[in-house]
Amino acid sequence: MQLPLAVRSDAGPVSRTPFAPGAAASYDAVHGKGVRPMKNCMRIPTRSVGFTLIEVMITVAVVAILAAIALPSYIDYVTRSKLVESKTNLSDMRTRMEQYFLDNRTYPTACDTYNSAAPAPAGHIYLPATQKFFTIDCGTPTASTYTVTATGNGAVTGFIFTVNEANVHATSAVPSGWNTPSPNTCWVSRKNGDC
């Protein structure tokens, strides 16, 4: 009776050493020589790499919930940041009006669009050079009174703020969803009417 030959699993030369059935095959783990035992040659199936449909659906649901909470807050934050322009320009115009009054003992008769090439005409002052979200207007001042108005446009349409010679700040109008302050002696900066 002829005994079976041991065969290596790699592409190396065939071993001619016979072994008895049931006997352990010799294997040198350091040098990779000999025959590997059969139980070590079996591959265990591994899980495929990727996401299951339920994992993707849960992720989308979580992102949607976060967006539903965060987006309105972000929009309010952006709107509040644009309101700063009106407050800055109204304060600037009040300073210009009062400075003109100190120099001339009367308020200017009109406000003109800013022109860096020439000084303002006699009896006039320039409006602020930067007016991106609000249009500034000083109306028709008298010798002793004025009211400067900032009217929102674009993303801040509906906001109207004023300041007068007595330094009374007022919120004349707000868009729907916003509240005017109570008492109305400031420029609103939050939906609930806080200034």
Domain membership flag for residue 31: no
3-state SS assignment for residue 173 = strand
In a domain, residue 61? The reply is yes
Count of structural domains, the chain: 1
Assigned domain for 194 exists: no
Q: How far apart are CA 172 and CA 90, in angstroms?
A: 14
Compute the half-sphere exposure of residue 119: CA atoms within 13 Å on the CB side of its CA.
3
The predicted-structure confidence for 118-149, as pLDDT tens digits, reads as follows 888 999 999 988 889 999 999 999 999 999 99
Q: How far is CA 8 from CA 12, 21, 33, 38, 70, in A?
A: 7, 16, 8, 11, 63
Beta strands in 32-82, from DSSP E residues, in sequence order: 33-34
At residue 77, φ and ψ (nearest 5 deg) are -65, -45
Residue 185 confidence (pLDDT) above 70: yes
Which positions ≥6 away from 7 have C-beta within 8 Å?
Answer: 14, 15, 35
Domain that holds residue 96: 53-173
- What integer pLDDT is reported at residue 108 of this predicted model? 95
Task: Compute the Cα dihedral for 130, 135, 141, 146 and give only its sign.
Answer: negative
In a domain, 108, yes or no: yes
Task: Decide if 83 is inside a domain.
Answer: yes
Which of 32-36, 89-93, 94-98, 108-112 has the least mean pLDDT?
32-36
Q: Three-class SS of residue 68? A: helix
Mean predicted confidence (pLDDT) in 104-123? 90
* Position 28 in a domain: no
